[in-house]
Structure 1
Amino acid sequence: MTLPLTVTGPAVALSDMAADLGSSVAAAQWVQNAYGVTFAACLLAAGGLADRFGRRRVLLSGLMVFCLMSVVCTVASSMLLIDIARAVQGIGAAGVLTSGAAILAASFQGPARAQAFGVLGGSFGCGLALGPLTAGALVSAGSWRAVFFVNVVIGLVVLALARFIPESRNPAATKVDWGGAATFSGSLGLLALTFVEGPESGWVTLPTLGALAGSVALMAAFAVVELRVAHPMFDLSLFRRPTFIVVVCQPFTITFGFVVLLVYLPPYFQGAGGHSATEAGALLLPLTVPVFLVPLVAGRIAAKVPLRVMLAASSTLIAAGSLWLMTLRPDSSWAELAGPLLVFGIGVGSAFGVMDNAAVSVAPVERAGMASGIFNTMRITGESVAIAGAAALLASLTLRDLNDRAPALSGNARALAGEATQGRIEGALDAVPADRREFALDAAAHGLTSAMHTVFLVLAVLALLGAITTYAVIRDRELDDSASTDPQQGKEPQ
């Protein structure tokens, strides 16, 4: 529950935070990007550490780092310090998520494991459901700092309870693949930098192209390292199963779109729609509540319905919801938004209840840490790419629309596009002549709305392709075989 709050909470509070600290558009983007990049980049290393040194030990260490950095964000007086703290916080979150999933996989088997991961999915859904509304209420009633402080409180409670978890580890684990961790982390960081620099300095400028080239080079180096190292953190032998490939890539068709809505709809509601932070959170309830409730049921349904059918249906619902969201307008009412957001949320929630279990079930139980690390790396990488990429796409499309629709605003268009994406249209109007501000506000809102519609179309196509691939490739027998592996020997029964 705490980890999803750390994504959805700052998304709602970002507008007030940036205004209070006098932050630039690029610096504010790193509040989300810094956390997502280190979170994704460290998951594989965290999985290796958990398997070797103990899953409970890594869980407790991650929780302590997470809580400490939440304290730093609460008292920080500059956006730079928050960005740095968020980067370190992502490292702690990686330890929490990977070790927690591995503990569940080692502690439960068969139907009990499916139910346990259903509860895990429900806890994620709870954090996602409560995040926007809670953050909005905290910002409206007090300060954006309270959004970070609530994670301190919850984290300390979890830290106290986690001490009672029995220790488990993989006796065959030997060393951590630091070379792989370094090259993967660097590649992902430079990719995020590419998306930040693109709208700011242009897509064909030296900083943008240099960051992209560096990202590609480091990813190639990562592949070389993983092929040569004796104990890779990204075990390529697991990718011999097409089912495993499709399962671990599910986040790109399911959570990819979900995180875009969670991060960019609240500022849209606040900026283009003129809603308060609390109202913006309330408008998201049809999306987030199903993500809390449906996973609790999905684990039981998964025992009767083939997994490929469930995951394909989930992606299909997400595609339908994305297309329906193309009716979005700045003045859309709660009733008009409820339908598409509900369909989207049910699709995400039904997948959340089974994805984690599927990921660890397709690998032997003694390698649960690695399987969980690979799956969650793909999930958080997808989220990180989605957050950074959607920001770049929204800003670029909004800028193009402004240049076409309102050439008289060309001197202010780039600032308007960037601020509109973060829900701060009003702040960007200060540089616009007074007699043009109303026109500029309408033009920016229209441009951003058009950009959102394009993003929704892209998400629909991606989800539909995911549904077709999932149904065609996944073989439930492979999941059943792995789930029946002897947890003591790590071998299938003879």
Structure 2
Amino acid sequence: MSKGTGLTTQQRWVLALTSLGSMVVALDSLVVATALTTIQEQLGASLADLEWTVNAYNLTFAVLMLSAAAAGDRWGRRRVFAGGFALFTLASAACALATSVDWLIAARAVQGVGAAVVMPLAMGLLGATFPPERRGWATGVFSSLTGLAVLSGPVVGGAITQGLDWHWVFWINVPVGLVLVPLTLKQIPESHGGNRRLDLVGAGLAAVALLGVVWALIRGPEVGWSTTEVLGSLVIGLIVGVAFVGWERRAPAPMLPLSLFKVRSFVAVNLAGLLLAAALIGTLFFLSQFVQVVLHDGPFAAGLRLLPWTATLFVIAPIAGRLVDRVGERPLVVLGLAAQGLGLLAVAALSANGLTYGELLAPMVIAGAGVSVAMTAAQSGAVAAVPGESVGVGSGVYGMTRQVGSVAGIAIAAAAFAWYGGYASPHEFERGFTAAMVIVGALSLAGAVAGAGLSPRAADRPSAMAMDRA
């Protein structure tokens, strides 16, 4: 063991490889954003085509995470993680080779399937490798890299598109996959979540239910919330969701043990994670545009302007991980989301009267520091709230709720933006931006309230779970 960090060689490999896989997957959720204009010109894509270039990835990512986590518990987390990243790598090559927008959208959907496997299994492998007293620190490192990848996506995509070509946004994943997959099979120990049969009926019902809800959230801003398509999709999703719960109650080997939802901390951390993701991605979606439309920066310069916000993740998340081990998740989730909410509401208040970049700096740092603390604590709480044999399922549920929250955050913020503003002029955009920032700020504060439902300290969680199960 290393005297400096107290990590075994095996723990170092697990932390490095799971963080790398998560970072690449997270980066691809937004790295394509600044390449969309070039893709539109070269492939003749319509506005709807460009939207689905982003949404196809998020959709399959969201609806398959739970099933992927269950598959990892059944067949081995290491094996399934490696297979998922191999699929992600092949799909990335297919994206880079796309000669039509339909081809690109289809490849992006397959990329999302691979991402849905990688993310929950990365957290599951991390939770299975590190003991509770070191798990918070490891999650902090994991979170800092994953969060930094998410928030740096636009600037990385802009730099690659401007310096090379939009195809390289996807080609860069290929050499990573060629290295990561064999190293994973060689260096990471196998772990399972219990020798249960795969619940194929439950997996199918969960996928259809989530597809219906997520489809409605994605399509609502585009075609209208009261349309037959959106309302019908939402109703189908909810009905199938009820059927899923009914099936899981009587299934001999349920994919999602409903007993997990008897644990207050598990419910609280998932609700807090959903609201955190909704606020975070909703903010990123509009803040990056604000810098370009109102402050008149280009895509690459806009990404650089966001660095005071994104850099806080890299600096603060590891510190937050150590604090989790000392004080537990609840105070950090509550204080972090409250700080993010206050920072975003400050942005809204300032933007209502005209906002310069200098005025934006302090609220950005406050919001970034808050989400860095809350993200680390919430991810640790998602793993700590469940017994060891259910780490994969627990992390899959948490990852799924975050993805659904991301879609919901953009949809809700976009609805507020469209109601009060638009793209006709910088002034009109600023009005809509103010409304969107009020919404994401309110979502953050709601997440802080949800986080209060976590157990006071990480050390209390096993006894709390035992009481809940008794």
TM-score range, shorter chain: 0.7 to 0.9
Q: Which residue of 1 aligns with 2:4?
A: none
Q: Distance in 1 between matches of 2:361 and 2:164?
A: 28
Paired amino acid for 2:406 = E
Map Cα deviations across residues 212-234 of structure 1 (whole Å, 9 max, x no partner): 22222222222222223222222
Establish whether residue 457 from structure 1 lines up as the match of residue 438 from structure 2. yes
Q: Report SS of the residue matched to 1:9.
A: coil
Establish whether residue 28 from structure 1 lines up as the match of residue 50 from structure 2. yes
Establish whether residue 372 from structure 1 lines up as the match of residue 395 from structure 2. yes
Q: Distance in 1 between matches of 2:297 and 2:352?
A: 13
Q: Which residue of 2 aligns with 1:413?
A: none
Q: Distance in 1 between matches of 2:42 and 2:203?
A: 36
C-alpha distance 216-48 of structure 1, shift in aligned 2 (>3 A): same
Establish whether residue 352 from structure 1 lines up as the match of residue 375 from structure 2. yes
Matches within 5 A, 1:460-479: 460-471=441-452, 473-477=453-457
C-alpha distance 214-15 of structure 1, shift in aligned 2 (>3 A): farther
Larger mean CA deviation between 364-373 and 74-83 belongs to 74-83
Paired residues of 1:273 and 1:331 also in contact (CA < 8 A):
no
Q: Which residue of 1 aligns with 2:346?
A: 324
Q: Report SS of the residue matched to 2:291.
A: helix
Q: Which residue of 1 aligns with 2:10?
A: none
Matches within 5 A, 1:267-306: 267-306=289-328
Q: Residue 45 of structure 1: CA displacement?
A: 1.0
Q: Residue 177 of structure 1: CA displacement?
A: 2.1
Larger mean CA deviation between 55-64 and 220-229 belongs to 220-229
Q: Distance in 1 between matches of 2:231 and 2:24?
A: 36
Match of 2:231 among 209, 217, 241: 209
Paired residues of 2:283 and 2:437 also in contact (CA < 8 A):
no
Q: Residue 483 of structure 1: CA displacement?
A: 9.4
Establish whether residue 45 from structure 1 lines up as the match of residue 35 from structure 2. no
Establish whether residue 482 from structure 1 lines up as the match of residue 462 from structure 2. yes
Paired residues of 2:154 and 2:303 also in contact (CA < 8 A):
yes
Q: Report SS of the residue matched to 1:370.
A: helix
Paired residues of 1:269 and 1:330 also in contact (CA < 8 A):
no
Q: Which residue of 1 aligns with 2:270?
A: 248
Establish whether residue 166 from structure 1 lines up as the match of residue 189 from structure 2. yes
What is the TM-score when the length of structure 2 is the normalising length?
A: 0.87
C-alpha distance 255-233 of structure 1, shift in aligned 2 (>3 A): same
Matches within 5 A, 1:5-84: 5-84=27-106
Paired residues of 2:413 and 2:439 also in contact (CA < 8 A):
no
C-alpha distance 308-145 of structure 1, shift in aligned 2 (>3 A): same
Q: Which residue of 1 aligns with 2:427?
A: 446
Establish whether residue 110 from structure 1 lines up as the match of residue 132 from structure 2. yes
Q: Which residue of 2 aligns with 1:430?
A: none
Paired residues of 2:59 and 2:211 also in contact (CA < 8 A):
yes
Paired amino acid for 1:461 = A
TM-align CA RMSD: 2.6
Map Cα deviations across residues 296-335 of structure 1 (whole Å, 9 max, x no partner): 1111112232421111001111111110121348985432
Q: Distance in 1 between matches of 2:144 and 2:458?
A: 25
Q: Report SS of the residue matched to 2:191.
A: coil
Paired residues of 2:455 and 2:461 also in contact (CA < 8 A):
no
Paired residues of 2:209 and 2:238 also in contact (CA < 8 A):
yes
Q: Which runs of 4+ in 1 moved over 4 A?
A: 329-333
Map Cα deviations across residues 324-358 of structure 1 (whole Å, 9 max, x no partner): 12134898543232222211111111122222221
Q: Residue 107 of structure 1: CA displacement?
A: 1.1
C-alpha distance 267-98 of structure 1, shift in aligned 2 (>3 A): same
Q: Residue 118 of structure 1: CA displacement?
A: 1.4
C-alpha distance 168-124 of structure 1, shift in aligned 2 (>3 A): same
Aligned-pair identity (%):
31
Q: Distance in 2 between matches of 1:67 and 1:380?
A: 21
Q: Distance in 1 between matches of 2:155 and 2:143?
A: 19
C-alpha distance 453-483 of structure 1, shift in aligned 2 (>3 A): farther
Q: Residue 36 of structure 1: CA displacement?
A: 1.4
Q: Residue 271 of structure 1: CA displacement?
A: 4.1
Paired residues of 1:259 and 1:383 also in contact (CA < 8 A):
yes
Map Cα deviations across residues 47-68 of structure 1 (whole Å, 9 max, x no partner): 1111111111011101001111
Q: Distance in 1 between matches of 2:353 and 2:37?
A: 17
Map Cα deviations across residues 439-471 of structure 1 (whole Å, 9 max, x no partner): xx42xx333322222121112222212223323
Match of 1:229 among 232, 251, 271: 251
What is the TM-score when the length of structure 1 is the normalising length?
A: 0.83
Which consecutive unaligned segments of at least 5 residues does structure 2 have? 1-22
Q: Distance in 1 between matches of 2:294 and 2:171?
A: 29
Q: Distance in 2 between matches of 1:384 and 1:452?
A: 18
C-alpha distance 449-44 of structure 1, shift in aligned 2 (>3 A): same
Map Cα deviations across residues 219-274 of structure 1 (whole Å, 9 max, x no partner): 22222222232222222101112111101222222222111222333334334543
Q: Which residue of 2 aligns with 1:140?
A: 162
Q: Report SS of the residue matched to 1:254.
A: helix
C-alpha distance 214-70 of structure 1, shift in aligned 2 (>3 A): same
Q: Residue 186 of structure 1: CA displacement?
A: 2.2
Q: Which residue of 1 aligns with 2:5?
A: none
Q: Which residue of 1 aligns with 2:200?
A: 178
Paired residues of 1:17 and 1:144 also in contact (CA < 8 A):
yes
Q: Which residue of 1 aligns with 2:19?
A: none
Paired residues of 2:96 and 2:171 also in contact (CA < 8 A):
yes
Q: Between Structure 1 and Structure 2, whose CA radius of gyration is higher? A: 1
Q: Residue 389 of structure 1: CA displacement?
A: 4.3
Q: Report SS of the residue matched to 1:173.
A: coil
Paired residues of 2:266 and 2:382 also in contact (CA < 8 A):
yes
Q: Report SS of the residue matched to 2:30.
A: helix
Q: Distance in 1 between matches of 2:151 and 2:234?
A: 35
C-alpha distance 307-290 of structure 1, shift in aligned 2 (>3 A): same
Q: Which residue of 2 aligns with 1:315?
A: 337
